């Protein structure tokens, strides 16, 4: 079984650049045993461009 985590990364409104270092986010989660599954941009603004994207991370569920 797997656990999933969704991390939202906001984009700046004018330049559409990430406000956070998404590579650092992925690397930190990888050190904690997760892997990047997908990057998803679900929301769009009035101009049709994404307002944020989500990193979808997966890791093996701990058996309790």
**DSSP, res 48:** S
Question: Bridge-partner residues for 44, per DSSP?
Answer: 50
Give residue 16's pLDDT band: very low, low, confident or very high (50, 70, 90): confident
C-alpha 28, offset from chain centre: 12
Total-model pTM: 0.82
Going across the sheet that includes 52-60, the strands are 2-10, 52-60, 35-40
Give residue 54's pLDDT band: very low, low, confident or very high (50, 70, 90): very high
Give residue 64's pLDDT band: very low, low, confident or very high (50, 70, 90): low
Residues 43 and 52 sit within 8 Å (Cβ to Cβ): yes
């Amino acid at each position: 079984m797997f656990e999933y985590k969704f991390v939202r990364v906001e984009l700046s409104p004018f330049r559409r650049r990430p406000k956070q270092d998404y590579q650092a986010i992925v690397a930190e989660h990888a050190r904690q045993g997760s892997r990047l599954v997908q990057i998803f941009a679900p929301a769009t603004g009035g101009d049709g461009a994404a307002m944020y994207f989500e990193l979808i991370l997966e890791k093996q569920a701990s058996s309790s």
